[in-house]
Amino acid sequence: MATHTPKNILITGAAGFIASHFANRLVRNYPEYKIVVLDKLDYCSNLKNLIPSKSSPNFKFVKGDIGSADLVNYLLITESIDTIMHFAAQTHVDNSFGNSFEFTKNNIYGTHVLLEACKVTGQIKRFIHVSTDEVYGETDEDAIVGNHEASQLLPTNPYSATKAGAEMLVMAYGRSYGLPVITTRGNNVYGPNQFPEKLIPKFILLALQGKPLPIHGDGSNVRSYLYCEDVAEAFEVILHKGEVGHVYNIGTKKERRVIDVAQDICRLFSKDPDASIKFVENRPFNDQRYFLDDEKLKILGWSERTTWEEGLKKTLDWYTKNPDWWGDVSGALLPHPRMLMMPGGLERHFDGSEEEKPESYVSTNTRMVVPPSKSVGTPQKHPLKFLIYGRTGWIGGLLGKLCEKQGIPYEYGKGRLEDRSSLVADIQSVKPTHIFNAAGVTGRPNVDWCETHKTETIRANVAGTLTLADVSREHGLLVINYATGCIFEYDAAHPEGSGIGFKEEDKPNFMGSFYSKTKAMVEELLREYDNVCTLRVRMPISSDLSNPRNFITKISRYNKVVNIPNSMTVLDELLPISIEMAKRNLRGIWNFTNPGAVSHNEILEMYRDYIDPNFKWSNFTLEEQAKVIVAARSNNEMDGSKLKNEFPELLSIKESLIKLVFEPNKKTA
């Protein structure tokens, strides 16, 4: 295991919440390390946070901005810095909507200045960049496995986008210049000293003042919380044992809804939650859930120590004793803070005294830009309302856009498919006319993942789908269930190239992957439910050729492909048909593919002819493919006559590909 023993550490943003706990811990535990802290003392910084370290001989505070290249270079050289712990950042999502350029300046440009200084001085042994779980974007409500360190970054707001941008720079400097970089991505942190724009201190201070606790939306948003001292210990472990070039999630699998947090705080104050909680308009773009896989850091020897109950009690005790730590924070306690935008605010000193910055420094750019509400006036009640599961999935996301285009009211389900009571709550809250299930596990990044995560795959694909079907039947609701046709394989009765496709009543014959086994199993059981319309999707394709899940995008990026004909689903044509099927209350099993089959080479030939005349590829055999994949892949042609009879306008696969995918993307010379 890699070990690092620093001598002179620079901690940026150390007068802020998390960094101050870490800085105080290092100063206390390692008197032989010299700790230099750099902070520009923005609105959410407070020198009082560093009082425990103030008189220590190994501690030095410098007021300054990481965006100042001269200052950063000077500090690295004169203090012989060999290690940087980079915490400094603007972090409050709400503020990032109204003042996003400040976030770019602080979070991206500031990080770039630090990296360049490290490159120029050439003396840094570790650069530890502190990022956030929000760079992964919203986690699917149904996900049973959290985002791991290699997961795709899909930020959803200006704050998380700037943190992801900073991460890209860190990674690039590691690769281009050999800088010894490590990145951390953490869940929410709480505890003493936190500025009260954040949820837990805000609720505690409001409860202390006898005021209601405002909850955005319905309070169902889920977050994971770690106590600040546990997080400080995590950074201590990563500093000494983290491997260069690696990313470490600092997280917990314990999740809490915002409403649960508010209720726990009410209980600690012996307040009635029903009387003390007030529901307010949701904040814009409020992600439903962030969920991390925390195994990698556990292997280094770190684990969460502080229970939620213990941490919350410690935090409450501290705020009770220090209610005026931050001075007048009435603006931060509003349901939707619009204040304290950079670079205004107060400068606080070690003794707690404050001085106003000159008037000219106060930013006037404090307006929050909120998108207009979807409903204007009082429209007539629509005869349809869809409840959709799989919000963060490809098909689930496209369904929402189609509903908007067609003016059909819809909401995404908040419940977990395997949690019956949460599905009942969704149905009672949304009151849908139809349910669409586009949730489930297909693998990360492909079905090979399911081979080593069998119980998770069963929970999502079998238990979750059956629970949804059962609950929906109890409520008299039709479920449009997006399933898969990857449960068949060419055989003697359906030979490749014969045009004889598998029909809806045929029994699955492909068990080469665990994913396909679970899908065949649940399809068989769903036959007993008369309220389910099962749509067998295969190798989905859309006109969005930038989407990595698009089958065309996938095979155009492979070095080699097998050349075999298959049935496929052009989503641009078939997803609107699935909405029509709901309107017609169709049930049973349907092969949800365009009629006919198309080979991989035929698709790549179209790609070359329409998109990229210089595109080249090569083929390999099924035997060669088998050597580079874990689970076998299904190849088949499905009989599309049942769907064609119901929708005579349905195009064959090749016609659909040309009309809806390749023609719209055609590159003109």
User: Positive or negative, the Cα torsion across 196, 200, 202, 206?
Assistant: negative
CB distance 382 to 394 below 8 Å: no
Residue with tokens 């909680």: 277
Per DSSP, what are the bridge partners of residue 346?
Answer: 356
Structure tokens at 265: 């705080």
Distances (CA, A) of 359 to 25, 330, 346, 481, 567: 37, 20, 11, 60, 67
Other Cβ atoms within 10 Å of 637 Cβ, number: 28
Distances (CA, A) of 421 to 109, 221, 416, 458, 480: 47, 17, 9, 19, 20
Q: Would you name the residues annotated as active-site residues?
A: 133-134, 159
CB distance 111 to 86 below 8 Å: yes
Structure tokens at 502: 């598998």
Per DSSP, what are the bridge partners of residue 181?
Answer: 127
Q: How many residues does the chain have?
A: 669
Nearest of 487, 474, 580, 596 to residue 533 by alpha carbon: 580
- DSSP, residue by residue, 288-339: SB--B--HHHHHTT----S-HHHHHHHHHHHHHH-TTTTS--TTTTSSS---
CB distance 423 to 467 below 8 Å: yes
Other Cβ atoms within 10 Å of 298 Cβ, number: 11
Cα–Cα distance measured from residue 320 to residue 314, given in angstroms and rounded to the nearest whole number: 10
Nearest of 407, 78, 84 to residue 238 by alpha carbon: 84
Other Cβ atoms within 10 Å of 146 Cβ, number: 23
User: Positive or negative, the Cα torsion across 571, 485, 595, 497?
Assistant: positive
Residue with tokens 């045009």: 499
The torsion region of residue 327 among left (phi > 0), alpha (psi -120 to 50) and beta comes to left
Query: How many helices (DSSP H) and strands (DSSP E) are in the chain?
Result: 24, 25
E-strand stretches of 89-195: 126-132, 181-186, 188-190
Q: Which secondary-structure segment (H or E) carries 402?
A: helix 394-406
Q: Within 13 Å and on the Cβ side, how many CA atoms surround 129? A: 31
Sequence-ordered list of residues with C-beta below 8 angstroms from that of 400, at least 6 positions apart, any chain? 388, 391, 410, 412
Nearest of 376, 405, 383 to residue 572 by alpha carbon: 405
Nearest of 151, 400, 103 to residue 290 by alpha carbon: 151
- DSSP, residue by residue, 135-151: GG-PPPTT-SSPBPTTS
Cα–Cα distance measured from residue 405 to residue 49, given in angstroms and rounded to the nearest whole number: 51
